[in-house]
Structure 1
Amino acid sequence: MTKPYQRIPIATSDDPLVPIPAGLFSLVTPHPYMALGADYGGRSPYFLRRRVLDKLIQAQNFLRAAHPEFQIQIFDAYRPIPVQQFMVDYTFTQLKGDRPLTPPETAQIWEQVLQFWAVPSRDPATPPPHSTGAALDVRLVNRAQEPLPMGGEIDDIGDRSYPDFYAAATTPPEQQYHHNRQLLRQAMEQAGFVIHPNEWWHFSYGDQLWAWQTQRAIAHYGRI
């Protein structure tokens, strides 16, 4: 299942993976996928390409200048292909449950899963965004490290995961969800990130999805 952005060619880059400084950002611990049993092969998920990390620091500084009480929290960043496969399979199993499925039902669930999860492709021309070191999943937290209400959890499968799901909301809680999503989005986008069309929490810089959304001819980062 090839997505439109995966048709964009990728340039070779020697920009290395570097650790996300825990002193600057809030990191979710224990890491949610490791807690489920995902094997990172001894590597940390809290790594990004060096230039992407610079952009993330810029986003954090922008946010803190306007809202010193808030901080960007990193839910997930670098994701090896085996972890992508693990999470795709895990999500399918969670949606399937214990019930037997007909072939059309199985296909429908896979379509639902792959609407939100990238195919764990090992083809260098079609890497999952997180496997490039250029994508990350984030949210906002307050001084007590409590997540701000965003109207849905990271990795939720469903319409409320769309970034603008609450844009036309009329109730105060839902309006607050939209405000918080916009606050996060503004901080990330002014630093050069793009948001995933289906996920309020997913941002990237330099990968194929970024190139496709910004109408670049070539992506900066491939699988690493």
Structure 2
Amino acid sequence: MSRKFRFLILFLLLCSIAGVAQKPDKEPIKKLTIPPIEQKMIGQGLVDIQKLDPSIKVELKYSTTDNFVGKDVYGDLSRAYLQPEMAKRLAKANALLRKNHSGYTLLVYDAARPNSVQYALWDALDNLKIPAKNKKMYVADPKIGSNHNFGCAVDLTVVDENGKPLDMGTKYDFFGPLAYPRSEQEMLKKGKLTIQQINNRQILRKAMNQAGFATNTTEWWHFDGMSKAQARAKYGMIK
């Protein structure tokens, strides 16, 4: 083997070693960016409910156009946050539901909500020509706040093993007596709700009540973890 050929082999070998040395063992870890709205909630002590129970499904309706406003009012918010105590109760409700109804799980439509969004929802009622005296029936006055604004309320439904929401008789955010738990028997007698639809609501209600949530009388999907006075005294409003 000639000296020139030996030098060539040595040169190629050194180049190969240098290339391996420069190549990192692992790809750099990409940092997940948390949107400012979520940073604010985390800063106020709220928790992502799916970190307590990943099996709970989340589809924030106000982060879509599928809501009574007809537009996305949450922007970057896509995760559901609650006060830690409320999140633990929700996980308990989901466990009770899954124990009593195999394949069923909770689907969250809304949880903690900034008060700035509360104003947007309040103003949107004007476009629907809801009389001023009736507005509080559908959206809490933002000057006072909703339990959502304290991270102590949750809107949700139940989905089956295929991820399909159970038939509750109305869509989420339906305005009118057909959505009122207090009017269910009346709506049944009038043929506007079926026994199955009411039974589906009761499946949700039973799990939530047993976990410590109170039923709202005018919204089958809404549940409170405590009174508004208690929430205001214990937690700060999410701005």
The worse-fitting range, judged by mean Cα deviation, of 15-24 and 54-63 is: 15-24
Q: CA separation in 2, counterparts of 1:78 and 1:120?
A: 14
Larger radius of gyration: 2
Matching residue of 1:149 = 167
Shift of 1:150: 0.4
Matching residue of 1:140 = 158
Matching residue of 2:119 = 85
Shift of 1:136: 0.7
Would you say 1:47 and 2:81 are equivalent positions?
A: yes
The structure with the largest helix share of the pair is: 2
Counterpart AA for 2:46: L
Matching residue of 2:61 = 32
Q: CA separation in 2, counterparts of 1:48 and 1:184?
A: 19
TM (normalized to structure 1)? Answer: 0.74
Q: Is the 8 A contact 2:103 2:161 kept in 1?
A: yes
Q: Report which structure shows greater RCO (CA 8 Å, sep ≥6).
A: 1
Shift of 1:34: 2.4
Shift of 1:45: 5.4
Q: Is the 8 A contact 2:214 2:226 kept in 1?
A: no
Shift of 1:115: 1.0
Q: Is the 8 A contact 1:207 1:221 kept in 2?
A: no
Matching residue of 1:63 = 97
From the superposition, tell whether residues 70 and 82 of structure 1 become closer, same or farther in structure 2 (CA, over 3 Å).
Answer: same
Matching residue of 2:48 = 19
1:175-199: CA deviation from partner (whole Å, max 9, x where unpaired): 1111011111110001110011211
How many residues align? The count is 186
Counterpart AA for 1:18: V
Q: Is the 8 A contact 1:75 1:138 kept in 2?
A: yes
Shift of 1:92: 2.6
TM (normalized to structure 2)? Answer: 0.70
Percent identical residues: 30
Shift of 1:68: 1.4
Secondary structure at the residue paired with 1:181? Answer: helix
Would you say 1:113 and 2:135 are equivalent positions?
A: yes
| Contiguous gaps of at least 5 residues in structure 2 | 1-42, 65-70
Question: Runs in 1 of length 4+ with deviation above 3 angstroms?
Answer: 42-45, 170-173, 218-222
Counterpart AA for 1:163: P
Q: Is the 8 A contact 2:118 2:145 kept in 1?
A: no
From the superposition, tell whether residues 15 and 55 of structure 1 become closer, same or farther in structure 2 (CA, over 3 Å).
Answer: farther
1:195-214: CA deviation from partner (whole Å, max 9, x where unpaired): 112111110113427x59xx
Q: Is the 8 A contact 2:178 2:193 kept in 1?
A: no
Counterpart AA for 1:223: M
